[in-house]
Structure 1
Amino acid sequence: MALASLGVIIPGIAAIYEFGVKGRKRLGYRVQMDTTAMDVVQTPFRGALGDLRKDGVQLTDPTVVLLRIENAGATGIDESDYAAPARSKAGITVRFPDRRVVGMVVTELSNKYLKAYFEDWDDLTVGGDTIELPRVQLNKKAHYKVLAVLDRAPTATVPPGQYLDPEVSGGIRNGVGQGGIDRTESRTGPPRALFALVALLAAIVVAQLFIFVRSDRATPLDCAAGRLTVTGSTAFEPIVREAAESYRDLCPGASFAFDMRGSGEGLLTLDRAARSADGEAPAAGLLAFSDGEKPSGMPGLVPRPIAFFLFTVVVNSEAGVHDLTGEQIRQIYRGEVTNWKEIGGSDLPVRLISRNPGSGTRAAFQRRVLGGQREPGSNSDDCRTRDPGTTPGVVRCARDSTEAVLRAIADTPGALGYSELGAAAVRDDLVLVRINGHRAEVTGADHGTYPFWETEFGYTYGEPDAESLAASFLRYLTNQVGADIIRANGDRPCAELANPQLCRPT
């Protein structure tokens, strides 16, 4: 608790300092150059630098200083803000110990309006060891630069070739700290204080993680014990198996059994168990997943939206197609296109490989892509030739699982089918067909440009006990590690959609 409080308090203090303290009026300066003008290696290119003079007398130990005076705060500085007597025109004084000023120019103005402040130097000192600078109005981020040529003073106490730092004095009323002029630094990266703050916050995070692992690893926040049988969608099976394994690692008291035979079969299994003798008891440890809503006639089954689930149309790589319009797909399934060359593909017969009736994936395809049109029945067992006695037309076959459909499409030239996106996307022997130019993506489906999707529902008989394994596992899928697993498979938890109402039952 204390570490968590520090994690909130420290960034708050940093924000107050950054915007409440540093954000006030702040006058700053930088010594951008302070160097000798002597030719220390005796090069032949000294030119004018080798003959610097004052009143005809050559300088003995010349130095050049470049100062930048700047507004280093977040608000403007007016002439009246300078902390100096009202009768004085000087706002800033620069003194060069053991040196004397022999020349000075203002070399750079951040804005033309600053020029007027340097056109009248009456009552200001430029000479001896001092330069007085006027009270200059500096808007936010405004600055000017002063270039001074200096020589060693006759009374200097430091050896030739050495010199003391400039002494810059001045101040701002109601400025940061004591209101004095601050020496600032030119840097391209973040300030050192920021690195220190980040390091401190990182240490707090690591400490919190260590405490969490030590204290909570054995008893996670939402663990439930017991045995849960999971049935239903084969399309959702890879996700639910991975999530169950992850849950079991966190909660050793939980165990899972799987009987994934399709959405329709899963819902029937749950409904039959609930209708059996002794009421709800046989269904208490049973959870069914369905691609889409339950059919009518199962009033005891309660749906919970789990994921926005994407599907894709899949074609054998030899067919020579990558993009189909929705109308072309409907024509193919009506039997109006029998060879891929008719719509610009290869010279191969069209063969359709579907899921068995009762499949949630098949129902989603009929509803979302075929516009409610039902697929005709199968006329082939091997998916290559029509069975004897069947009506001539496109070869149609069906398989009982997502993996079986994908294997058959990959092995059958000219084959077309459909599948859950995650299972199809990991294969390199199939082509995922774009629909109307749009590939299977959550963004497109969420905004209505990609049509082939469905809500994945988790069904229980009635409301499960809040402490039960079924209830805990459903929460795990929607707002804990299970949600990460859903995202990793290309789908989305319903709560993360731009239009989350798409997931709601109709």
Structure 2
Amino acid sequence: MKLSKKLGALLGIGALSLGLLVAGCGGDSAKKEAPKATTIEGKVTAQGSTALLPLLKIAQEQFEGKNPKVTINITGGGSFTGMNQVANKAVDIGNSDVELPKELADKGLVDHKVTVMPFVFITNPDVKTTNLTQQQAIDILTGKITNWKDVGGADQKITIIHRAKSSGSRATIAKIVLNNQNFTDNAVILDSNGAVKAAIATTAGAIGYVDVPYVDKSVNMLNYNGVAYSEQAVTSGKYPVYAYGHMYTNGAPTGATKAFIDFILSKDFQESASPKGFIPVTKMSK
């Protein structure tokens, strides 16, 4: 009887020790298998559309704040410059207001639609015209109308200030408003949306076009075909002058480039942090 009791006690102690040993090993295993957060690092270069710059600059600041080992360099130059640069692998991302032209269709570029960019006509504050029909806009931009009195304004010369042929903004207006008619050569040509807005603000009788984030109190924003710009007017199809913002990569993006594009496409950035005037792609009805 005594022997049986001793044997039972020894077996109990052995089982307890084995249990503790197994538990200890399990704990070590769990610690070893815990996933580690991946550190994003590297350098990303992007060039192209100045219409996209207000969005990308905010995204850059926020992304670099969350990922201090990443450096992002973003420059303008126009949509077609950006697409050509990424096609030649000179930059990681080519920013554009327009779809790829035919000559770049076979270069292996991958399109990432990141936003919707509405464009508006703006004038110097001394211009009293508040609305342009499509035909009036065509007549002004092609040089047929050269005085504001011919579109309901004062007897004042019209000065056109807009973008170069490398600009996606120009291509958008040419396609949607002009139906691909030629702009007049009698115009002031500048290299960015910001420069266009600043020049119009200080030039009497001036008119041009920019995407909405550049508009401020220094210029007047015109209605188009009797419709005032608003996000709802764009998403419902009532206001047609807009373009998609593209970020093209040469092949599928990887590393920091992919992480930056994914960040811009995230719901939080699209709906909360994206600058006023840019519209999330998911809000478009068509």
Instruction: Work out whether residues 223 and 472 of structure 1, in 8 Å CA contact, stay in contact via their aligned partners in 2.
Output: no
Amino acid at match of 1:421: V
Instruction: Work out whether residues 267 and 294 of structure 1, in 8 Å CA contact, stay in contact via their aligned partners in 2.
Output: yes
Do residues 363 (structure 1) and 179 (structure 2) align? no
**1:451 paired residue number:** 240
Do residues 350 (structure 1) and 158 (structure 2) align? yes
What does 1:52-451 correspond to in 2, within 5 Å?
Answer: 224-273=40-89, 286-298=92-104, 299=106, 300-377=108-185, 395-424=186-215, 427-451=216-240
SS of equivalent to 1:413: coil
How far apart are 1:259 and its partner, in Å? 2.2
Structure with more strand by fraction = 1
Cα displacement string for residues 265-324 of structure 1 (whole angstroms, at most 9, x for unaligned residues): 111111122xxxxxxxx65xx111100212112122111111111111111111211111
Distance 2:275 2:38 in 1: 22
Instruction: Work out whether residues 348 and 414 of structure 1, in 8 Å CA contact, stay in contact via their aligned partners in 2.
Output: yes
Distance 1:439 1:362 in 2: 21
Amino acid at match of 1:331: D
Cα displacement string for residues 84-120 of structure 1 (whole angstroms, at most 9, x for unaligned residues): xxxxxxxxxxxxxxxxxxxxxxxxxxxxxxxxxxxxx
Distance 1:261 1:334 in 2: 24
How far apart are 1:342 and its partner, in Å? 1.6
SS of equivalent to 1:260: strand
Q: In terms of Rg, which structure is larger?
A: 1
Instruction: Work out whether residues 235 and 283 of structure 2, in 8 Å CA contact, stay in contact via their aligned partners in 1.
Output: no
How far apart are 1:446 and its partner, in Å? 2.2
Distance 2:36 2:66 in 1: 7
Distance 1:418 1:354 in 2: 7
Amino acid at match of 1:325: T
How far apart are 1:442 and its partner, in Å? 2.5
Stretches of structure 1 that go unaligned for 5 or more consecutive residues are 1-218, 274-281, 378-394, 500-506
Instruction: Work out whether residues 243 and 485 of structure 1, in 8 Å CA contact, stay in contact via their aligned partners in 2.
Output: no
Distance 1:231 1:407 in 2: 22
**2:24 paired residue number:** none
How many residues are treated as equivalent by the alignment? Answer: 250
How far apart are 1:335 and its partner, in Å? 1.8
**2:284 paired residue number:** 497
Residues 485 and 263 of structure 1: CA distance in aligned 2, closer, same or farther (over 3 Å): farther
Amino acid at match of 1:248: E
Bigger CA drift: 263-272 or 354-363? 263-272
CA RMSD of aligned residues (A): 2.0
Amino acid at match of 1:360: G
SS of equivalent to 1:297: helix
Amino acid at match of 2:62: S
Instruction: Work out whether residues 48 and 82 of structure 2, in 8 Å CA contact, stay in contact via their aligned partners in 1.
Output: yes
SS of equivalent to 2:112: strand
How far apart are 1:489 and its partner, in Å? 1.8
**1:80 paired residue number:** none
Distance 2:141 2:83 in 1: 27
Residues 249 and 343 of structure 1: CA distance in aligned 2, closer, same or farther (over 3 Å): same
Structure with more helix by fraction = 2
Stretches of structure 2 that go unaligned for 5 or more consecutive residues are 1-34
How far apart are 1:358 and its partner, in Å? 1.0
**Larger relative contact order, structure 1 or 2 (CA cutoff 8 Å, min sep 6):** 2
Cα displacement string for residues 315-336 of structure 1 (whole angstroms, at most 9, x for unaligned residues): 1111211111111101112222
Amino acid at match of 1:494: V
Amino acid at match of 1:362: R
Identity value in percent: 27
How far apart are 1:485 and its partner, in Å? 5.7
How far apart are 1:498 and its partner, in Å? 2.7
**1:464 paired residue number:** 253
Amino acid at match of 1:363: A
Residues 222 and 399 of structure 1: CA distance in aligned 2, closer, same or farther (over 3 Å): farther
